[in-house]
Structure 1
């Protein structure tokens, strides 16, 4: 009995010493696993999971066992065989120590805030081992593919909530005026982009004049260690997003194909393209803006009848407005090459408008 009491006292003192030190959550869990001589783990409400084995090795994230103790964080021992007499006290003191550690600063349960961890994941300059560890601390499985999204605009927080409601694992951080969102187990990026676009448009109805976002670009689903590439794709796709009538709020990079090359052009080059200049000059009046919007709708919907239905106009009105743009631009929509030129020029104008919206958002944030 005396030996058990001595062991319990040592456990309490052990964790009291850790709580009074500068130890972070990693150090505390590693020490707990060594003391217990079996793996120890913890999970926070954010989804972050840390597990260490008795030798001090970081283990892959895994769901808490049914016998996990407490909440914020949940803690557990992964002991095979007979439970030891002091295990109950050990997990209680472990949880207490982790809570004390978290209160020492705003860095969060791992000693490094989730946003900082995500920045490590997105940086190609970080060592592979550091990126793997950051992924695990975020609760992301490094062996399964991930997808990055770039979200901007005043409605960013709502857009991130919309994403989180539809994807099981979501981690996010703000980088400048753009929010980086990492998702895993999201299925098809193409299908998810359609679902998110519908949800964002419902929450933030489109308008003919530029509105205030939010806008979302989605990178391809790639191996977890290629997160930086998916993030770069997401930022390029973001330039194609728009909150006006005929643009998409959520654009997946994989849908762009060769059009992705347009996203590499600087705003000045796009605005200086002769066809874009003429379109913008014509659209500077109310009547011209209506005509250009109608032509853009025609390029999206593909026929006079469908365009008239979508815009709630008579087909003769649609034809007349398109005719106005044809006269200014020298195009004939009955000609395949002119239809292509119109679609390309309108796409370049759309990217320029979206880039301007993003720049305006940056200025507001500044």
Structure 2
């Protein structure tokens, strides 16, 4: 027992963070270990030291702050009780190391810009994190929120995961979270919530849009922020597009966000489909094809749109005639999906840029030769 106490005292004295302490407990006890804070944050590791998804504490776990447990079948012995006690002590020591914000001459948005800037020294970024109440020893994820309803979208995020800090940086609201959810899972939850509160119609959605960066080590917050802003290009203005996009979902598609908006809108396929979508019947047909590419079959598309499947087939045939496609053929179906994706990125980027001539291009589906970058500057490096 003395050796066990010495072991955890050594962790406490070594500035170990919460993840390190809980992982060490799981390895030592050879069973999953977890902790939950009053904020709702949960950290769990399995017996092999792998991060586990957040889950509710097992029945009978003490409500002490933080609540700590070992997920072992059967009765808990005295050694397990000692491990739990020492883990809780280490976590309290770790929490006490994060200082209360002191006067610095900088307000929260300015401190947040320091955290999100690669131009700042690492030591300055870490100090800014501590002043904001961010644990620099735990991974961080940054979200970028913009568009009408952005304030409400931040509230939606805060209602599902604990938000550490948020502030408007340039034209975009940056949101810092330190959670343990899978990015895909979290984006699905947030997307459903945003769509519920801000439903789209056939003419599109005016926002809000949310881009999610990857969950990275806290000193790499600037990278997560950049990813979040790039993901915004894919948070669609179109009827069937997603409003919340996680960067890790994009894979190779992220390359589309690197291209200038003018170049995307100027490609021949996008010009043709935008011209067709500029007519009333064409807009309906293109929307139907996009729904078909999303839902994958005529019958499901018809069910989702509350149409007969023959009506869906007729509308898709209109687009096929204009574009020279046959979506029953694998290559043409891939081309149609890619063109619609490029169009979606171009329209969303134009919406985000808030540039009059690009906004006109979005509304009219016309060509534009501007070589603007894919995203407006935000003032953060």
Question: What is the TM-score with the length of structure 2 in the denominator?
Answer: 0.66
Determine the structure 1 residue equivalent to 2:327: 333
SS for the counterpart of 1:256 is helix
Provide the residue aligned with 1:300 in structure 2. 294
Matches for 1:226-245 after TM superposition, within 5 Å: 226-245=220-239
- Residue pair 2:133, 2:164 contacting (<8 A) in 1 also: no
Report whether the alignment pairs 1:148 with 2:142: yes
Q: 1:155 to 1:110 in 2, by over 3 A?
A: same
Distance 2:235 2:318 in 1: 27
State the match for 1:283 in structure 2: 277
Q: 2:170 aligns with which of 176, 185, 201?
A: 176
- For residues 41-190 of structure 1, the aligned pairs below 5 Å read 62=95, 111-190=105-184
Question: Aligned partners of 2:274, 2:103: CA distance in 1, in Å?
Answer: 52
CA distance, structure 1, for counterparts of residue 289 and residue 105 of structure 2:
55
Structure 1 residue 140: Cα displacement: 1.0
Partner residue of 2:203 out of 194, 198, 209: 209
CA contact (8 A) 2:141 2:216 kept: yes
Partner of 2:304: 310
Q: Is contact 1:61–1:139 with CA below 8 Å preserved after alignment?
A: no
Question: SS at the partner of 2:354?
Answer: helix
User: 191, 194, 202: which is aligned to 1:197?
Assistant: 191
Are 2:163 and 2:175, in contact at CA under 8 Å, matched by a contact in 1?
no
* Contact kept in structure 2, 1:61 and 1:136, CA below 8 Å: no
What secondary structure is seen at the aligned counterpart in 1 of 2:292? helix
Deviation, structure 1 residue 207: 1.2
Shift of 1:324: 0.4
Offset at residue 154 of structure 1 (A): 1.4
Instruction: Indicate conservation of the 8 Å contact 2:143/2:211, yes or no.
Output: yes
On the 8 A contact 2:116/2:221 being kept in 1, the answer is: yes
| Counterpart in the other structure of 2:341 | 347
**Larger relative contact order (C-alpha < 8 A, sep ≥ 6)?**
2
1:236-285 Cα offsets, whole Å, 9 max, x none, are 10000024321000000100111000011110010001100000000000
C-alpha displacement at 1:174, in angstroms?
Answer: 1.1
Match status 1:273 vs 2:257:
no
Checking the alignment, whether the CA contact within 8 Å between 2:264 and 2:343 is kept in structure 1 is yes
- Out of 342, 347, 357, the position equivalent to 2:351 is 357
The answer on whether the counterparts of 1:150 and 1:231 sit within 8 Å (CA) in structure 2 is yes
Report if aligned partners of 2:199, 2:205 keep a CA contact under 8 Å in 1. no
Looking at structure 2, the residues matched to 276 and 341 of structure 1 have their Cα atoms a distance apart, in angstroms, of 11
Structure 1 residue 256 corresponds to structure 2 residue 250: yes
Q: Is the alpha carbon distance of 1:288 and 1:62 closer, same or farther for their aligned partners in structure 2, counting shifts above 3 Å?
A: same
Structure 2 gaps, min length 5: 1-92, 360-381
Q: What is the Cα deviation at residue 111 of structure 1?
A: 3.9
Q: Would you say the 8 A contact 1:61–1:141 is kept in 2?
A: no
What is the SS of the residue equivalent to 1:313?
A: coil
Q: Which runs of 5+ in 1 are unaligned?
A: 1-59, 65-73, 76-97, 99-107
Match of 1:91 in 2: none
